[in-house]
Amino acid sequence: MHVAQQILFIITAIAAIYMFTKKVTAMRRNIMLGRKEDLSDNKGQRWKNMTLLALGQKKMFKKPIPALLHLAVYAGFIIINAEILEIFLDGILGVHRLFAPVLGGLYAVLIGFFEVLAVLVLVSCLIFLVRRNILKVRRLNMPELKGWPREDANLILITEVILMSLFLIMNTADQTLQGQPGAEHYIVTVPFWVTHHFKSAFSGMSVSSLIGIERTCWWLHIIGVFFFLNYLPYSKHFHIILAFPNAYYSKLIPQGEASNMPEIQNEVLYMMEPDKAPAAIGAEPEHKRFGAKDVTDLSWKNLLDAYSCTECGRCTDACPANMTGKKLSPRKIMMDTRDRLEEVGKNIDINKEFKDDGKSLLNDYITVEELRACTTCQACVEACPVTIDPLSIIMQLRRNLVMEDSNAPQEWNLMFGNIENNMAPWKFSPDDRDAWTQDVA
């Protein structure tokens, strides 16, 4: 590799890594805008969850065919990065196939294995494109995916197809060049498992033409990788990275167990023991919000969930409310939360602190109709492959509606009144409820 190419590569690599780091840092700041939540208990179980759910993709296999295709793409993405490491070092050091002399015959075995994975990734991505755009699988073609979300999914699949194709063409040209006069720096290796079968496609081409093809594919491949790296944080596909911490920090309490609200507990405590109230001890009263109205009222784990969402739609596909035609879509809840969080982050970037924009997650993004449609059945939580909990966000928004806006269906208000007056959901007092026993004798 010429010195000019080497310098260009180093500049490109530094710029790509800098932009990626800057965006990820901003995302971390956005996540930490959420309320504190301690999820540091039972580390052994958390590591187990991360291994089974993020690395092993355990919950994906409830739908075997998509799971196998996804596993091929996932394994290819993770394992082929070993080849990216060599390309990266080649670019910095100005050499070609740095590891080949060191590994000897094992090198061809590794590259051959990478090529098999590349073919599997390519085929899987093509099948995914067919499922989305020709077969139009229901959960992949719902209203919330119109516009950019659908384009995002297609763009990333097409990018994967192009990257894998460039990798295979590059290796084919490299295999053809090996041992030819004028191409001495192309190290002779044991034939690679896939591409050596296609060398005939380049037979008869001049050495300069083959070098041009190999170098063009090399540059396009690594630039494509840098593009992919910086595109990920703007895409739903950042779940490739966030699935691991999200699985690790998933809640370990029994599914369906509702969390208490410290704000309510404290209010009851201060009512029963006024001497413990902040005003009584000379402390500044804390600002309290019952439930959540905006993203900053949610916990940091809720916000991590939003960034981790794969938009696969399994939650919405399993939602009984959505099945019956109601507007609720758990996937949309997560997408709306992420969109609002990104908007808040941009507001902070521009103003150096959050400047009230008159918007909130509740009402401006997620409607009352959507929230009331939820039956709290936990189907969405159970269905999610990366342990995202849309129900937690729904419950917090509904709590805010009821306790701060006094916005509840009339049937709920009747029940609340009965509980307050009769200590039960029914309109009868305790004495009246027992009256029927007097006639049983």
d(C-alpha 315, C-alpha 103), whole Å: 46
Per-residue pLDDT averaged across 141-146, rounded? 93
pLDDT at residue 286, as a whole number? 60
Residue type, 139: R
Which range among 182-191, 251-260, 261-270, 281-290 shows the weakest confidence by mean pLDDT? 281-290
Of 264, 139, 136, 120, nearest to 193 (Cα)? 120
Residue 78's nearest CA partner among 107, 42, 54, 45 is 54
Percentage, residues of the chain above pLDDT 90: 68
Contact 338, 309 (CB under 8 A): yes
- Comparing 109-123, 128-142, 403-417, 423-437, the range with the smallest average pLDDT is 423-437
Q: Which residues pair with 342 in a beta bridge?
A: none
In this prediction, residues 350-362 reach a mean pLDDT of: 95
Higher pLDDT, 289 or 150: 150
> Quick one: DSSP state of residue 299?
B
Please name which of 334, 108, 323, 105 lies closest in space to residue 242, comparing C-alpha atoms.
334
412-423 pLDDT per residue, tens:
888 888 888 887
pLDDT higher than threshold 80 for residue 139: yes
| CA–CA separation, 263 and 254 (whole Å) | 22
User: What value does the mean pLDDT take over residues 182-195?
Assistant: 90
For residue 291, is pLDDT > 60? yes
| pLDDT at residue number 283 | 62
| Domain regions of the chain by residue span | 3-31+63-242, 262-422
The arithmetic mean of pLDDT across residues 59-69, rounded, is: 90
Identity of residue 181: P
Q: What is the DSSP letter of 325?
A: T
pLDDT at 338: 97
What pLDDT, in 10s, does the model give residues 71-110?
A: 899 888 888 877 888 999 999 998 899 999 999 889 999 9
What pLDDT was estimated at residue 82?
Answer: 78
Question: What is the C-alpha to C-alpha distance for residues 34 and 286, in angstroms, rounded to an integer?
Answer: 16
Chain centre distance of CA 137:
20
329 — alpha (psi -120 to 50), left (phi > 0) or beta?
beta
Which is higher by pLDDT, 233 or 267? Answer: 233
282, pLDDT greater than 70: no
Report the chain's mean pLDDT, rounded to a whole number.
91
**Is residue 24 very low, low, confident or very high in pLDDT (cuts 50, 70, 90)?**
very high
- Give the pLDDT score at 182: 87
User: Per-residue pLDDT averaged across 56-63, rounded?
Assistant: 90
Question: Does the pLDDT at position 272 exceed 70?
Answer: yes
Provide the token pair at 259.
Answer: 């969390």
b/e 72-99 (16+ beta carbons within 10 angstroms → b): bbbebbeebeebbebbbebbeeebbbbb
Instruction: Please name the CATH architecture into which domain 262-422 falls.
Output: Orthogonal Bundle (1.10)
CA distances from 340 to 241, 357, 358, 386 (A): 21, 11, 12, 21
65-69, 286-290, 379-383: which has the highest mean pLDDT? 379-383
Query: Got the DSSP string for 350-400?
Result: HHSS----S--HHHHTB-HHHHHH-----HHHHH-TT---HHHHHHHHHHH
Measured in Å, how far apart are the chain's first and last C-alpha atoms? 101
CATH architecture, range 3-31+63-242: Up-down Bundle (1.20)
- Check pLDDT > 60 for residue 287: no
Q: Is the dihedral of CA 74, 80, 81, 82 positive or negative?
A: positive
Which of 167, 20, 11 is closest to 92 using CA atoms?
11
